[in-house]
């Protein structure tokens, strides 16, 4: 409560000298404004948590990598229904809640390097598809590890993913200058090769406001590889008709206006 009160006054709980300038945050957010990439969005996964909107551009994709299993695997289940084989990984569980012959599971956490319970995305891909050069899908919900994973993944592998869906955690830390540098570097790396085509806030943990800026603590973002896009136009209306609150018993949270329009 104290931290939230300070944020509402334009203050961070860290020292004033470590705060990120509001203009820098808004500039970063503007680079992430979702774009209409000329492809309809479809919902894959559950109606609440574990469901994501992705471009209807799956033809020719044979494999999906999906780290962070937990108690849900409906996204992967629907991928398998479309004849897309899924690689799943999560050290916190012994197996996916749904078992299918199209699933290959590793009891590992995805990390920035290979060590003990962790393996890197490149290591994981090479374990099963070393010489495969076709397009892939990445759906990732790994509780804060997404930043170091994406920053450490070789560019040639990132570019092999046609669609990337990531649940980004701790985005309220953009107000802290050090965390801003890490998070913004991750986004800038993705934006070199991908367009943002959808965003949806997770309503479980709410958002943080500071002046004109409102940042959802957790934000689901869908990226589409630029090689699949010829023309883009800014999206100006949210939520999408297929969006569903992550948890129906919590207050709804729509995408704040600063994430798709001037404020």
Rounded Cα gap, residues 144 and 182, in angstroms = 12
Beta strands in 21-169 (DSSP E): 35-36, 41-44, 52-55, 63-67, 85-89, 103-106, 109-111, 118-120, 136-140, 161-168
pLDDT at residue 6 above 70? no
Q: What is the pLDDT of residue 3?
A: 56
pLDDT at residue 66 above 80? yes
pLDDT at residue 11 above 90? no
In a 3-state reduction of DSSP, which class is residue 260?
Answer: coil
Q: What is the pLDDT of residue 61?
A: 98
Q: Are 110 and 142 in contact (CB under 8 A)?
A: yes
Sorting pLDDT into bands at 50, 70 and 90, what band is 95?
very high
Domain hosting residue 235, numbered range: 2-259
The CA-based angle 143-87-199, given to 5 degrees, is 45
> How many percent of the chain have pLDDT more than 90?
87
Domain tally, the chain? 1
Strands 52-55 and 233-234: unpaired
Q: What is the mean pLDDT of residues 183-200?
A: 98
Where is 202: in which H helix or E strand? none
- Which segment of 5-19, 27-41, 203-217, 236-250 scores lowest on mean pLDDT? 5-19
Q: What is the mean pLDDT of residues 116-136?
A: 97
Say how far residue 17 (Cα) sits from the centre of its chain: 30
Rounded Cα gap, residues 109 and 69, in angstroms = 10
Here the CATH number for the domain that contains residue 39 is 3.40.50
Q: What is the mean pLDDT of residues 68-81?
A: 91
Mean pLDDT, the chain, rounded, equals 93
Q: What is the pLDDT of residue 5?
A: 57
- Residue 106: CA count within 13 A, CB half-sphere: 21
pLDDT at residue 2 above 80? no
Sorting pLDDT into bands at 50, 70 and 90, what band is 48?
confident
pLDDT at residue 9 above 90? no
């Amino acid at each position: 409560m104290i931290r939230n009160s300070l944020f509402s006054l334009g203050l961070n709980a860290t020292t004033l000298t470590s705060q990120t300038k509001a203009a820098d945050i808004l500039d970063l957010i503007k680079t992430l404004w979702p774009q209409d990439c000329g492809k309809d969005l479809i919902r894959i996964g559950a109606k609440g948590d574990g469901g994501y909107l992705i471009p209807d551009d799956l033809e020719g994709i044979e494999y999906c990598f999906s780290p962070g299993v937990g108690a849900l695997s409906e996204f992967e289940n629907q991928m398998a229904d479309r004849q897309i084989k899924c690689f799943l990984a999560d050290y916190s569980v012994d197996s996916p809640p749904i078992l299918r012959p199209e699933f290959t599971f590793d009891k590992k956490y995805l990390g920035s390097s290979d060590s003990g319970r962790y393996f890197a995305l490149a290591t994981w891909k090479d374990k099963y598809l070393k010489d495969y050069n076709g397009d892939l899908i990445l759906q990732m919900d790994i509780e804060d590890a997404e930043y170091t994973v994406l920053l450490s993944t070789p560019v040639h592998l990132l570019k092999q993913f046609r669609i990337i869906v990531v649940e980004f955690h701790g985005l309220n830390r953009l107000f802290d200058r050090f965390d801003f540098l890490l998070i913004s570097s991750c986004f800038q790396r993705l934006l070199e090769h991908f367009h943002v085509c959808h965003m949806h806030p997770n309503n479980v943990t709410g958002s943080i406001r500071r002046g004109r800026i409102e940042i959802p603590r957790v934000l689901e973002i869908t990226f589409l590889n630029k090689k699949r896009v010829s023309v883009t136009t800014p999206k100006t209306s949210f939520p999408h008709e297929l969006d569903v609150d992550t948890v129906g018993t919590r207050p709804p949270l729509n995408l704040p206006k600063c994430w798709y329009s001037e404020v």
